[in-house]
Structure formats: structure tokens, C-alpha cells
């Protein structure tokens, strides 16, 4: 009988040690960075699932929009997490930029939380760093979780009278939004006000710690991996990220056909360039319209390293934003799009 008690005691002790170790690593990311990528990814998953707040669905940070489902809330607010604390200054459109930036921007950025500058101060974003380095007037319209569809809706609402270049940041999370748009006959799926308000109430609740929290998250993850039912197949043949991205662009050809367009992929610390490589191949096709063939496609995996990202949160840190800004400035120069030259293709 004693042997069973000792075995049970050992199992409980190991589980307690696991929970305590995960709790320490989540609270002290500088310690986590000393360990392997595999462990970092494991702890980051626990943080994202159990602790990280969703900015746009926090009371005082997000605002309902009938055109987009939500934007950021105009005015000022502070968004704080374990690895950062930043003030957000939001204009009347609901994007993280000045009111003056809405009038005649020369470079417009479309994207999600990565281009928004989640985790860094406004002046540290690659958008504002590029503005200082290039001399162009920029406008950052990026909003967390926006896909290509809503980014194009956003572009239609902007002053494009002085626009010289468009920059689109793609993320793998854009896929579902772009897929639904395609499946629904090129109609955007926009969150209703009641859904937004319910989501705000849900996500604004404090994410407190309780004993066994991280162990429970691990068990749930394993359960889903082992026993989750496969999702039903979508209608029609499967489409890739690039298929859907290009489809959305083609539906907005009237906006894009005469613009230099720079596209780059950003998915966080676990980078891939699958989308980038496939898009380059697709854009080279002779049957594509000129504005698709002329896309300027960047591969950021060649320059961004793990140290350029927050180890828990996965977004770019200030150093990473500087790297991206320098790459974009070099790209403008390479493509003959310097401020003192005529921007055209």
C-alpha cells in the first residue's frame, strides 16, 4: 500500500513542480529566453491562451464600427502586458496615427497587430521610423486581426489623392476572413454590434491566476490534439493563402492597378516564408494582371531573428521594428521610390 502512496505522491509532486515552473517562466520572460525554442513555444502557448489580453476587445481600447466590426477607440489609452506597456494615440478613423496623417498620406500601411506596433510606442513602429528615414508622409491603418478584406474596405475610405506607394502586411490569420469573403460571393463578414459588445464583456474580465491553470491548459491542448474531430470541408476545392489573397486584390483592382505595392508576410517569432515564396511564383504567372505581376514581395525571414521578437507575446520588439524600417527604406530606394523621385511603375 505504501508503494502506491509513494507513487501517487511523486506524481502530484511532479505536477506541482511543472505548474510552478510554468508560472515562473510566464512571469519572467528574460529567464525563458535562456531555454530552447521548443520550451519557449510551449510557454508562449500557455501565456497566449491563459494570460494575454486581446487589445481590441478590452474596455476602453476597442470601438464598434458598422464598416469593420471594430476599430481602436479614438483618443488615448494604455495597453499593458508582461513584456511591455505602451500608450496608443488613435485618430477619428480609429487607427493608431495622428489626425493630420489622414490628409494626403503618401504611403499607406495596411495590416494587423504586427504593423500596428503591438508592444512598442508609436514612434518606435516601423511605420513612423520609415516616415523619418524616407521623408514620406505615412498613415498607419493597421488594426489587430484585420484580414485583407477589411484592409481593402479601409483603403476605400482613405484620402488617396497623394498616395505614392501602398504597403500590405500579410499574416496567416488573414486566411479565414479572406476565405469567408470568397465563399460568400465577395461580401465581407462584419461583426454585429451585439456580438462586439458581448465579446467586450467577455474579454474585459481579469485573467487571474489560480493553482493548476497552466497544467489545465496543457491537458486541454493534448485532448484537442488527440480527440478533436476534423472540421467539415469547406465548399469547393481548397484554396491556399495566396489564392485567397490574390482573389481579394483582384476584386479591388480599381484601387490597386496604378500603385506600387509592397507586400510582406509577418507571423511572429515562429516565422515562415511559405506565403512569400508562393506569392512570388504566382505573381510571375503570365496570366496575372499587371498590378499583380508588379507586386514587390519581401522575404523578412532573411533578416529577422528571434531576438527581434518578444519571447512570450511573439510580436516585434523595438529592435525588430528598426530592422523592418531599414528594409523598407532600402526597398523604396531599390525600386526607385525615393522621396525625390517620381513614384510610378
The predicted model scores a pTM of 0.93
* Rounded CA separation 329/338 (Å): 8
159-198 tens-digit pLDDT: 999 999 999 999 999 999 999 999 999 999 999 999 999 9
The residue ranges of every structural domain in the chain are 2-53+206-227, 98-190+238-334
Which cell numbers in the block locate residue 121? 510606442
- Express as a percent the part of the chain with pLDDT over 90: 86
* Span 59-75, pLDDT tens digits: 999 999 999 999 999 99
Decide: 95 and 143 in contact? Cβ < 8 Å: yes
The pLDDT of residue 57 is above 70: yes
Task: Identify which has the larger pLDDT, 69 or 9.
Answer: 69
Backbone φ, ψ for residue 291 (5° rounding): -70, -25
pLDDT surpassing 60 at residue 222? yes
The CATH number that domain 98-190+238-334 falls under is: 3.40.50.1110
Between these two residues, 138 and 341, which has the higher pLDDT value? 138
Q: Which three cell numbers stand for residue 89?
A: 494615440
Residue 1 CB partners (closer than 8 Å, separation 6+): none
Residue 233 has pLDDT above 50, yes or no: no
In angstroms, the CA 193 to CA 154 distance is 18
Specify the DSSP element, H or E, that contains 80: strand 75-81
Amino acid at each position: 500500500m505504501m508503494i502506491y502512496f509513494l507513487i501517487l505522491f511523486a506524481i502530484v509532486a511532479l505536477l506541482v513542480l511543472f505548474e510552478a515552473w510554468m508560472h515562473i517562466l510566464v512571469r519572467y520572460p528574460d529567464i525563458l529566453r535562456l531555454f530552447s525554442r521548443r520550451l519557449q513555444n510551449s510557454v508562449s502557448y500557455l501565456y497566449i491562451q491563459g494570460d494575454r489580453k486581446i487589445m481590441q476587445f478590452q474596455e476602453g481600447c476597442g470601438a464598434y464600427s458598422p464598416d469593420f466590426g471594430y476599430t481602436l477607440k479614438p483618443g488615448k489609452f494604455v495597453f499593458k502586458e508582461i513584456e511591455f506597456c505602451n500608450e496608443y494615440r488613435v485618430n477619428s478613423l480609429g487607427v493608431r496615427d495622428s489626425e493630420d496623417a489622414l490628409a494626403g498620406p503618401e504611403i499607406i500601411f495596411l495590416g494587423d497587430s504586427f504593423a500596428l506596433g503591438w508592444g512598442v510606442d508609436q514612434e518606435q513602429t516601423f511605420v513612423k521610423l520609415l516616415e523619418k528615414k524616407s521623408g514620406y508622409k505615412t498613415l498607419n491603418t493597421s488594426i489587430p486581426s484585420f484580414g485583407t478584406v477589411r484592409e481593402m474596405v479601409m483603403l476605400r475610405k482613405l484620402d488617396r489623392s497623394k498616395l505614392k506607394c501602398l504597403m500590405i502586411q500579410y499574416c496567416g490569420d488573414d486566411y479565414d476572413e479572406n476565405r469567408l469573403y470568397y465563399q460568400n460571393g465577395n461580401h465581407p463578414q462584419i461583426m454585429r454590434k451585439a456580438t462586439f459588445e458581448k465579446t467586450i464583456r467577455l474579454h474585459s474580465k481579469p485573467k487571474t491566476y489560480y493553482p493548476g491553470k497552466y497544467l489545465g491548459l496543457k491537458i486541454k491542448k493534448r485532448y484537442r490534439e488527440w480527440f478533436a474531430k476534423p472540421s467539415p470541408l469547406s465548399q469547393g476545392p481548397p484554396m491556399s493563402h495566396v489564392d485567397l489573397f490574390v482573389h481579394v486584390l483582384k476584386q479591388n483592382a480599381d484601387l490597386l492597378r496604378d500603385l506600387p505595392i509592397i507586400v510582406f508576410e509577418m507571423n511572429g517569432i515562429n516565422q515562415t516564408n511559405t506565403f512569400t515564396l508562393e506569392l512570388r511564383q504566382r505573381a510571375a504567372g503570365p496570366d496575372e494582371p499587371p498590378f499583380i505581376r508588379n507586386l514587390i514581395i519581401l522575404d523578412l525571414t532573411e533578416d529577422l531573428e528571434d531576438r527581434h521578437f518578444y519571447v512570450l507575446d511573439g510580436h516585434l520588439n523595438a529592435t525588430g521594428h528598426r530592422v523592418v524600417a531599414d528594409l523598407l527604406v532600402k526597398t523604396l530606394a531599390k525600386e526607385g521610390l525615393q522621396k525625390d523621385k517620381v513614384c510610378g511603375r
